[in-house]
Structure 1
Amino acid sequence: MARNEQLIRQHKLLQLLELSRFGRTLEELRGDLVADLGLTKLHERTVRRDLEALQAAGFDIQSETVQRGRVFKLGQNTTDVHEIGISATELIALSIGRELLYPLMGTQYWRGIETFWNKVQEAVPNGVFDHYARYRAALHVFGSPSKSYERQEGMLKTINRAILEHRLVEIEYESIGKPVSTRKIEPYGLAVYQSSIYIVAAVPGTTTTDQAENRQRLRNWKLDRFHHATLLDEYFKPDPQIDLSKYLGSSIGIFSGDSTTLVKIRLGKRSAAYLREDPWHPEQSLEDLGDDQTMLTVPAAHPREILPKVLSLGADAEVIEPAEFRETVAESVREMVAHYT
């Protein structure tokens, strides 16, 4: 664990030095590390040893004495390593990706995106950038909700560290319609879905030999509902059978999991055309029933994720099975009719 903590500190040191144009003193670096990594204690001697280890690894970390003391900063040889060649098309693709990640604004991820974007702009020749600017003016990205996680930056840092070190986190969490409650979670990873950040975590408990049952302990916790997150000095052993890519990709929405249900939805001609253009899931299937009717079969983990999609198609879509999913939509429709009668 100590080795892992050392690597995290050294990686953060490089980030701090990259962001510092005029260098940082040992005391300043120590203070930044304590704040950013949520440490309870850290000696300046440890910071000095980390700097020496980075220098021994080949990083050009220089020091000089200025009015406020001895400062450390990255030399020119370090920045030269990151120089890259990039085309106008690649620059356009990168800028689109940057705009799609606006919900991360204010977090450490966004600072990384911005510093890299600034480096790219400084590195490309003027001709390439002018070509990019002309074409980029004709392409617009919109439709993402205006959202920022700047207020939750500290909690994100805590959760990131817990993921890397396999440590438990105590959270104050407020589910919609319920009072704030204190929980312990075992965080496995983060997920960004429709401009919201979710923490994929398990509730601590006695594991069993049933792999599927262990994976069912996973849940997606929405960061917007966190009031506080505290890193605990308790560790958990990650389940090697948990595959986050499989877990998150199994369903059409954020209600992910290993247990999904195949839902059959009868579509009219227009809705079927929409679903061919914009599929709900890569594993969906569309079967022609004749008479301008099509049967959509799509995996889903929860009736609530099917509901808004079906309602958006109006009377041109009807859930056929399973019964639980059909009744969820039917109940919503009955309530809507009552409101509009």
Structure 2
Amino acid sequence: MDRFDRIYRLYALFAGGRQARSATELQAELGCSRATLMRAIAELRDLLGVPLVWDAAARGYRIEGAAARSELPGLWFSADELQALLVAQSLLSDLGEGLIPQQIEALRGRIASLLARGGVLPQRASQVLRVLPAAGRACDALVFRLAVTATLGARRLAIRYLSRGTGEATERTVSPQRLVRYRDNWYLDAWCHLRGGLRSFAVDAIESARIESEQPARVLPEQDLDEHLGAAYGIFSGPATQRAVLRFAPGRARWIASERWHPAQFGRWLEDGRYELSVPFGDARELVLDILRYGPDVEVLEPPALRAEVAARLREAAALYAEDVNP
């Protein structure tokens, strides 16, 4: 019995009347330990507002006050669980006909059922809640399906990949390791047999793909993947070799202090209301773009090379508007 079923069952035991029920009786009904029962009682009372009290005279628990309500009040998912379900519902709703419409519809129905059990009307949720993608790029449906199949099945994938930086397309064979959803786009972390190393490929930049059934994929240890792909800032692969130290103006600091830029970040408030943030990075390209978004509200303190690069980009941007500033 999962957590939600247990809470629902516990409430149902009290919903039919106001008589007290002993802990021993409740444990037998739910088939759980005393510690699990106490957690369920605490969630029912403290999180969902059910007036469940201990009746010393009857040596049991009962609902205090008016007759028991017929259904649980409010939402009874945790914040993370509710967010996950709503995001999944939104993503599935945004899909077109696709390659597997029946399976997608089955998933939508399952999510709607879970939301309904949690006190959320799915139709109402779709009307009042929105998940807005930002700068998402469309993937070829067949390429994405092959990437998923190859990754789950540990098969090599032959791809034609377009480098948007150079405009060059290359043919290469890769061993998929992970599919990553990052900033509303999909990336394939894979061992590139052409380059002899780990690379991250934007799935939307894969022009064609074919699963190679002759050879299994080269599967790397999780620790190696985390060290190479997860240690530094952003989506670019490679180990973290430096730390950026950024100082944000007071007006922006209140937002930045609550944001998570990297799992290994450090932050501290300064006496004048500014906020100093330190994040590890290797490849600076994505970090530079994120810093530029904040314009005069951020200053790069370290390292000197990063500070110089950001300053140069800002000068280039200002030059585009030189005539407007000095007519």
TM-score under structure 1 length normalisation: 0.60
**Aligned equivalents of 1:165, 1:105: Cα separation in 2:** 25
**1:260 CA drift (Å):** 4.5
Secondary structure at the counterpart of residue 97 of structure 1: helix
Change in Cα spacing, 1:102 to 1:298, as seen in structure 2 (3 Å) is farther
Secondary structure at the counterpart of residue 121 of structure 2: helix
Change in Cα spacing, 1:131 to 1:144, as seen in structure 2 (3 Å) is closer
Q: Which residue of 2 aligns with 1:175?
A: 163
Work out whether residues 136 and 183 of structure 2, in 8 Å CA contact, stay in contact via their aligned partners in 1.
no
**1:146 CA drift (Å):** 7.3
Q: Which residue of 1 aligns with 2:267?
A: 286
| Residue in structure 1 matching 2:258, options 267, 273, 277 | 277
Secondary structure at the counterpart of residue 174 of structure 1: strand
CA deviations on 1:229-270 (whole Å, 9 max, x unpaired) are 122223343223545456554344212433352111122212
Work out whether residues 180 and 186 of structure 2, in 8 Å CA contact, stay in contact via their aligned partners in 1.
yes
Matched, 1:316 2:278: no
**1:186 CA drift (Å):** 1.6
Change in Cα spacing, 1:206 to 1:190, as seen in structure 2 (3 Å) is closer
**1:99 CA drift (Å):** 1.5
**1:102 CA drift (Å):** 6.3
**1:188 CA drift (Å):** 0.9
Q: Which residue of 2 aligns with 1:340?
A: 321
Q: Which residue of 2 aligns with 1:222?
A: 202
Change in Cα spacing, 1:317 to 1:131, as seen in structure 2 (3 Å) is closer
Work out whether residues 137 and 185 of structure 2, in 8 Å CA contact, stay in contact via their aligned partners in 1.
no
Q: Which residue of 2 aligns with 1:166?
A: 154
Secondary structure at the counterpart of residue 168 of structure 2: coil
Change in Cα spacing, 1:169 to 1:336, as seen in structure 2 (3 Å) is same
Matched, 1:99 2:51: no
Work out whether residues 189 and 201 of structure 1, in 8 Å CA contact, stay in contact via their aligned partners in 2.
yes
**1:139 CA drift (Å):** 4.5
**Aligned equivalents of 2:204, 2:265: Cα separation in 1:** 30
Q: Which residue of 2 aligns with 1:116?
A: 107
Work out whether residues 103 and 146 of structure 1, in 8 Å CA contact, stay in contact via their aligned partners in 2.
no
Change in Cα spacing, 1:241 to 1:131, as seen in structure 2 (3 Å) is closer
Change in Cα spacing, 1:133 to 1:174, as seen in structure 2 (3 Å) is closer
Unaligned runs of at least 5 residues, structure 2: 1-73, 323-327
**Aligned equivalents of 1:145, 1:286: Cα separation in 2:** 26
Amino acid at match of 1:314: G
Work out whether residues 245 and 276 of structure 2, in 8 Å CA contact, stay in contact via their aligned partners in 1.
yes
CA deviations on 1:26-45 (whole Å, 9 max, x unpaired) are xxxxxxxxxxxxxxxxxxxx
Aligned ranges 1:1-341 → 2 under 5 Å: 89-90=76-77, 93=83, 94-100=85-91, 112-121=103-112, 132=121, 136=125, 139-145=128-134, 147=136, 149=138, 152-176=140-164, 177-204=166-193, 217-232=197-212, 233-240=214-221, 242-244=223-225, 247-341=228-322
Q: Which residue of 1 aligns with 2:44?
A: none
**Aligned equivalents of 1:279, 1:122: Cα separation in 2:** 32
Greater CA deviation, 133-142 or 261-270? 133-142
**Aligned equivalents of 1:152, 1:99: Cα separation in 2:** 20
Change in Cα spacing, 1:240 to 1:283, as seen in structure 2 (3 Å) is closer
Work out whether residues 257 and 275 of structure 2, in 8 Å CA contact, stay in contact via their aligned partners in 1.
no
Unaligned runs of at least 5 residues, structure 1: 1-86, 208-216
Change in Cα spacing, 1:110 to 1:246, as seen in structure 2 (3 Å) is farther
**Aligned equivalents of 2:246, 2:266: Cα separation in 1:** 11
**Aligned equivalents of 2:115, 2:195: Cα separation in 1:** 55
The structure with more radius of gyration: 2
**1:201 CA drift (Å):** 0.7
Work out whether residues 187 and 201 of structure 2, in 8 Å CA contact, stay in contact via their aligned partners in 1.
yes
RMSD between aligned residues: 3.5
Work out whether residues 303 and 324 of structure 1, in 8 Å CA contact, stay in contact via their aligned partners in 2.
no
